[in-house]
Each structure stands twice: as C-alpha cells, then as structure tokens.
Structure 1
C-alpha cells in the first residue's frame, strides 16, 4: 500500500516553508543563528498546520496516504517533529546575544511570553496524548482539541515577535497566512462541526446476536442506503444513555447497505459496554466508509491473514461474493470462544473449491508463522488484525519476497 502522494505532500509543504523563510528578507539585519532560529520556528508552525489538517479525516488525504491509519500515523509523527522544532527554536533564541532582541514593544514582549506558554502547552498536551493507552478514547480526543490553544498562541508569537514582516503581501506572508488559516479552520472544524456535518447516515439498532464469548454482531437499519466496498470500515456514534458520545471505528462484516452488520469484540471500556448494554432500537449515526482493502484489485491468487476480530472485513467480502479467486485464509485466534464465524467459514470452504481456510488456535497450537511456507508468484496478501501481528507479517513478507503485493488494515487512531 503506497503512501507516496501523502509523503510528497508533506515533503513539498515543509521544504517550501523552509525555502520561503530562508529566502525572505528580514526587517533588520540579523545574525545567521537568528535566521536559522526563524526557519526552525516557521517549520514548527507549518508542521502543526499539517497536524491539524491530517486530523480532518479528509477523503482526499485518505486516498493520498492509502488509508486513514496511515494518515494518523503521520499525524502523530508530525506532532512529535513539530514539538521538537518548537523546543529547538526556543533554545536557539536563548543563544542569541541581547543586542539582537532590539527595542521591546508591548506587542513583542507579550508575543515572546505567549511563545513560551505555547511551547509548554505543546509539551504537556503532546506528552499526554502519547500516553494514549492509559486514556479513555473521549479523554484522548479532548486533549487533542486543546492543542488549538498553544497553536493560536504560537501564531501570535510568530506574527508579533518575528524579525520578518508577516503582514506584508510577500510570498512568506501569504504562505503563512494560508497555512495558519487552514490549520485553525481544520482544528475548529474537528472541534465544533465535524460530528454535525459528516455523520449523515442515521438509523437504529435492529438486531443483536452473540458471537462467541465476548463478541456481538449488531445489525443497523439505516434511513438512507450506505454505499460501501467489502473490507471497509465506518465510524459509529451511539445515542444511548451511558455511552460516550465519541465515534468509534468498526469494520463492516456484511449487509446490503440499507442493513449493515458490524461485529464488535470486547477489547476496552466502550466495546464492553456495547457487548453488554446496547439495546435494540437505539439510534445511531454513521460516517464513512473508509479503508483501502480492495480484494477485487488483488491477484487471482490471494492469501488472507486474520487475527481475532480482524476476520470481519474478510467476512464482508465472502458474504457478498461466491468467489472464483484462489484464496487461502489463515485465521488465528486465542481459544475456541474467540473463533467467531468458524461454522460459516467451514461451510464456505466445503461449498467453494477455490477457498481454503486454516484455523490456528494459539491456546493449543503454535503461533502462526510462514517460515516454512512459500508464497506463489503473482499472489496478493491481505492482512487485518492487531497492529503488532500485522507489522510482524509485513516485515516477514517484505524481507523474503521482492515486490510483493501486501494490503493491510490495522486500526490505531490513538
């Protein structure tokens, strides 16, 4: 899954920012160290513009990065990079001789103080966000929203303490104004408009069926048909008392668009509540679909690897297509109670000579490995499951096969 367009967009934006700051003319003579400090500070502001832009779940950006999980990966990397640039900018400014500070106006003094405050704000909020596994999803989202505050302070600092005039119609000023505006609007959009504007598909829960010991299949009947491709996922908001308001992503495991199914396993606080407390008749809102698993674009020969609840995108395809492709599925799970849809997969294999399924129960069998397995030429590999598992197999296949076609989905939006 190539992300070249997305990476090229980031590269051009950051390099363009550096060149504009480097080529711009300051309002007074400054040292080379001060010029470097301004370039670093400008890159930090540009980096945070990209951070906010990538958080909008834009369909165009999703296509450029070949999946929303890649968008969020680079969103995280850019936040860390930008924070490092903010700290470096502050250190470089502290190394400047006093004479370079010039006459301190009230605006300039306030801008310096707000710049320091912005730095500390970024450090605290990003550090907390990186400890995502210790936070509930709603808490994590709230921390992200607060990043707009140090970003606004940083912009004030850039405009009123810079040795470059950002209020004139120069290429640097125009670029800064455009990125600052888009960055701020992106943050405000996610803060106040996203959930009202994007969750256009509404409906209700019309069926709940237990699948194994800790998973349920939920049927949603929508007011308007949802167009999706097998293998994609959606964000769901549940309007039931006691449930958090934040949307959560789940793979579509089947349906015709008017009625859709998702299968949810108890893995955290929210999914446990869904499994135990969700009621038929509850209103829901849906946004999406997302995802770039496209089985039809793969080779005639395909290897599918599913870990636990990662079986759901494959089910979506099998239930909609009596496949004529040569498919071998490796389904790994921990204990018989976690082998959801096992009967369906066995029956499908018995009635379709093109499909073969291998069940790997890690409580009684060795973990799945392909060390003794040779992947035939012109074979597409599709993976879905825990991030650690997906990364392990991607590394294995890429190190053992050249130019292999690998497609995967591994949700991690924290």
Structure 2
C-alpha cells in the first residue's frame, strides 16, 4: 500500500493533486519576471493552473491500472476527474478577465475561444444530470415547469443520451490541446522565463500523451471478453438482473469489482459500467441494474437473450479484505449490488464479524436469498430496514446495533450519494477512522 501508513491508497492521489497544484503556483510566484504587471501575470497563472488540472484529469481517465491503484478504483478516479475539470473550467474565468496580451496572435485567440467554449460545454453537460441536487426545493419546481416548454424539450432530445454525451466527452483532450497551444503562443511570461515555458510544456504534454494513449492505444492493451446474454430477469419493478455467458475465456474478478459492459441492444451498441453481483465461482457474469438513467431505463425491453456482449475489466477496489475484523456493510437500494457478490462468493467460514444493513422501500427482493446465506454463516448478522414501515436507516441506528468501539470498526457502504455522504460524516464524528470508511460510487459516468 502506497502513501502514509494506515491510510487507504485512494487518499494519496487527491493529496498529491493538491500538493502539485500548490507547488506549481509557488513556482510561478518565485519565477515572476520583472516588468510583468501583477493582474496580467496572475491571469496567466490561472491559465497555467487550469491546464495543469485538465492534464491531471486526462491522466485519471486513461484507464491505466496504476492510476486506479493510486485512487482506490476507477470510480474514485472518475469522481476526481470531474472535480478537476469543473475547477479547471472555473479558473478560466479569472484567466480570461486578467490575462490581456496586446501582442496576442490571431491563431492563439481562435484557439482560446475553441478551448473555453468546448470545455465549458462539457462541464455544463456533465453537471446537468445532477441539477436536482444542486437547487433548493422552491427553485426546483420552477425548473421542472421550465423543462416542459417545447424549445427545452427539443434541446433535451438533442443533448440527451449517455452515448451522445460520452462521444462528445471524448473531445476533452482536443479542447485541452487548443488551450495548451493558446498558452504557448500568447503567454508573455514564457518569453521572459523559459523555465515557466518548459514546465508548462511538460505538464500539458503529459496530459495530452495520456489522452492519446487512451484514444489510440488503450483498446489494444485492455483485455476484452466476448459474452452472450443468457437471460434477463425482472427482480422487482425497475430492477433487472442480467446474466451473461462467456463465449471464450471468462473474466476473472474479485467480489465487489465492476466491469465495463458493451451490450448490442435494439438501439445499437451501448457501453456502461456495472457492478458485478454474481459469485466468483460462476462462469457467467451477473449484473443487477436499476432504471436510473436513459440507458438503464429501457434495458428490460432493449436487451434480449442471445444478444452479444463485450466485457472489459475488472475495475474497482471495493474490497472487504481492506477492513478490520468487525465490519458494517450498508446497502441502500441498488447499492446492494457489490454486497450480493460478496455474499454469493462466501465459501467456508466467514472471516471476522459482519453486520449487514439492507434498506429498501418495501421488502428487499433479495431478502430470502440473503437470509439463507446468513443462516449458513453465524458471523453474519443481517438487519433488514423497510423504509415504508421502519422509517429511514440512520447512522445512530447502525452504531447502536453494533457492539464494538467505533475506532475498531470498518464501514462499507453502497447507495444514494446523499445518503452515503451523510453517513460518512456521522461515522467520522462518532469516532470511526476515515481510513476505515469505504464507499462505492455507482452514479459516475
């Protein structure tokens, strides 16, 4: 495990990003050339920091195993990719306002417009699916009414769709390249201080090299496995389980990991990350899918037995072996998926003690299966929480049911993002070590 002793690997990546960003700002401060006006120089610094953050963001989505290891899973890397892209775009605002160069080239100006427009569009498009969580309740109602106006409905049809967004998202590197070249052409500080220029070239060149690798070479190095849809079972309203049979060498994975699934549906090939819910002892792969977005909502009708599929991976570091001897597993809604894989893969005696909390609206569709597994493993205690009759599960309810000192406890969580953030904050306040709180991000794209 890299990083500080006792800290999970995923925390070393973000700390490194913040440290690198601060160091780059200090470099600009120390190497400020004489004669450069403070506002203009500060504007150029914001532009350089923006390129730095976007370059790191390109590294994070390169699909290299080393990146996944540092961040504790590709899902965590994807979350930080989005955060860095948003922050990098925000830095462009003061850069545009302050970095005025009377000698700017016409080509550099055109590249700046292309980069700023493209990156801003990417960020807005990425944030749009999450707008409900960003607005207060009174404003939310007004926005919902506005969405029903026919021009807005037309725009949603043009922009909507995961595959369309993903295709446009692949242009990120080209927009970053435009911004990078704009800096090389028009940054006045680079003429006065070659060290700033070459550090900028190293940073931007690294990010673009990783982008080129992902777009041109990664497909030749990442293993892909041919599968076929065996069956599609409706587990509950809006919840389906898809079984895929290997046509050749099956994918080897660890319980709790996910795979990138390419499915040839009635609407053509579609790609999406899915947590694996089946046992490692099966040759087939099982994924449990809830209708959360435009791609998954139509899966029961679009995916039929016999259709081909391609599986790449596995990805993720959601691993119960990283926990302490006494663990709490919290599964909210479709967040139960990785825990199903853990449960279905149990073999022999369960190591340690586990309290599993399964919360759902109504009886969990997997209640009978989970109860049967628990009867075979005395170290596993299951707490079913029906929110319709029992109310919502709270961190206090969890801690009150577990007879262990919080600092010796490990918590693994899967479920809605808002719920997990609240639980994580409450567990830390109660004394659970940050290093022992693990969660799965299943709502990234």
TM-score in same-fold range (> 0.5): yes
Instruction: Determine the structure 2 residue equivalent to 1:298.
Output: 323
Structure 1 Cα separation of the partners of residues 213 and 254 of structure 2: 27
Q: CA deviation at 1:340?
A: 2.4
Q: What residue in structure 2 maps to residue 101 of structure 1? A: 102
Q: Partners in 2 of 1:326 and 1:20 — Cα distance?
A: 50
After superposition, give the CA deviation of every residue in 1:219-266 in whole Å (9 maximum; x if it has no partner). 222222322111111110012331443333333332436322222223
Q: Deviations over 1:281-337 (max 9, x none)?
A: 22211122122222223222221111112222112122222424322211011123x
Following superposition, the deviation at residue 63 of structure 1 comes to: 1.8
Corresponding pairs, count: 401
2:125 to 105, 121, 128: 128
- C-alpha change, 1:3 and 1:283, in structure 2 (3 Å) is same
Of residues 98, 107, 118 in structure 1, which corresponds to 2:115? 118
So what's the TM-score if we normalise by structure 2?
0.81
Q: C-alpha offsets along residues 331-390 of structure 1, whole Å, 9 cap, x if unaligned?
A: 011123xx2221111112223322221211212221112325434122221111121221
- Give 1:212's match in structure 2, choosing from 226, 236, 254: 236
Distance 2:244 2:382 in 1: 29
- Counting only pairs closer than 5 Å after superposition, residues 7-406 of structure 1 correspond to structure 2 as 7-24=14-31, 29-94=35-100, 101-102=102-103, 108-133=105-130, 135-165=160-190, 170-191=194-215, 194=218, 197-198=221-222, 200-222=224-246, 223-256=248-281, 258-321=283-346, 322=348, 323-336=350-363, 339-372=364-397, 373-374=399-400, 375=402, 376-377=404-405, 378-403=408-433, 405-406=436-437
Q: Residue by residue, what CA displacement relative to the aligned partner does 1:189-218 show, whole Å, maximum 9, x if unpaired?
A: 444555565352222222333323332322
**1:97 matched to which residue of 2?**
none
Partner SS state of residue 101, structure 1? coil
Gaps of 5+ in 2: 1-7, 131-155
Q: How far has the Cα of 1:68 moved from its partner?
A: 2.5
- Structure 1 residues 123 and 215: CA distance shift in structure 2, 3 A: closer
Q: Quick check: 1:115–1:154 contact (8 Å CA) kept in 2?
A: yes
Does the residue aligned with 1:252 lie in a helix, a strand or coil? coil
Report the equivalent of 2:439.
408
Q: SS where residue 363 of structure 1 aligns?
A: helix
Structure 1 unaligned blocks of 5 or more: 95-99
Cα deviation, residue 183, structure 1: 2.1
Equivalent-residue separation in structure 2 for 1:8 and 1:60 (angstroms): 16
- C-alpha distance in structure 2 between counterparts of 1:365 and 1:282, whole Å: 41
Query: Matched residues in 2 for 1:362 and 1:192: separation?
Result: 48
Larger helix percent:
2
**Structure 1 SS opposite 2:177:** helix
Shift of 1:397: 0.9
Question: Do the aligned residues in 2 keep the contact of 1:332 with 1:361 (CA within 8 Å)?
Answer: yes
Alpha carbons 1:159, 1:166 under 8 Å: kept: no
The CA deviation string for residues 4-57 of structure 1, in whole angstroms up to 9 with x for no partner, is 32123313432343344344475x842233322222221111121112222223
Q: CA RMSD in A?
A: 2.7
TM-score, normalized by length of structure 1?
0.87
